[in-house]
Amino acid sequence: MSLETKVALVTGAGVGIGEATCRGLAAAGALVVVSDIDQVAGNRVADDLNKGGYQAVFMRLDVCDEAQWREVVADIVARFGSLHILINNAGIANICGVEDETLAGWRKTNTINSDAVFLGTREAIRVMKESGGSIVNVSSIEGIVGDPMLPAYNASKGAVRAFTKSVALYCADKGYPIRVNSMHPGYVATPLVSGALSRLSDSDAEAFTQRVLASIPMGRMAEATEIAKGIVFLASDDASYMTGSELIMDGGYTAR
């Protein structure tokens, strides 16, 4: 999956799936723009890639800020000539039942997980519609099935799933050479999961973890690098006949 000459932007790239995706894209030959609201984490990833002989730069991006999206994409085009790949990966999760979720928490989750995907996708299309490109929106299996303790996350990731299909059809109807697909990871051993669990009591966290593991036929959570391989595939020309598709990588969770 050669991505030489390609310029890729990854959001939420400082840790977890985002970091692993940056490494996968760089290994395939892409120049990677590592973006995150956390400058320390983002710079660490970019510096590490550069030390490894790859091409990477860090650009701070608050994915909820419309103006910052415009500035970052404009900067990428000005510095590197184009943007070929966008990975909308940034996200958060809060584990709680619907009765305990707050409106503020609901809005925060949906703003970061869903609204930001809209902002990034719209901005990328504006610069890709002439030269072409690939957009991968990281949804989740929780955008396909429900979980009693993830109401806001379910809603936000379901929105990403449907939005991706809408935009893929829009680009095809317009004749834009842009493919738009969604990635649906199952449970992954990342700071997103561990951070959500850390906000629960020890007993609740253990119960949630055991319930999840019991629902995964392969009996374990994924590693971020495993999910990154699927994202790199969708971004590459090896997926040239895929648009509006959803790639599920969940250890069999949704097969039951």
Q: Give me the amino acid identity at 28.
A: A
pLDDT on residue 202:
83
In this predicted structure, the answer to whether residue 205 has a pLDDT above a threshold of 80 is: no
Q: Name the band, by pLDDT with cuts 50, 70 and 90, for residue 64.
A: very high
Q: Is 153 marked active-site?
A: yes
What is the average per-residue pLDDT within 173-200? Answer: 87
What is the average per-residue pLDDT within 30-51? Answer: 98
pLDDT on residue 208:
79
- 92 vs 213, more confident: 92
Please state which of the ranges 69-78, 131-140, 189-198, 240-249 shows the lowest mean pLDDT: 189-198
Nearest-angstrom CA–CA distance, 86 and 63: 13
Domains for the chain: give ranges and CATH numbers: 7-190+223-241 (3.40.50.720)
CA count, 13 A, side-chain hemisphere, 78: 6
pLDDT on residue 185:
97
pLDDT on residue 192:
67
pLDDT on residue 83:
98
Question: What phi, psi does 46 have (nearest 5°)?
Answer: -65, -45
Active-site hit among 153, 176, 187, 253: 153
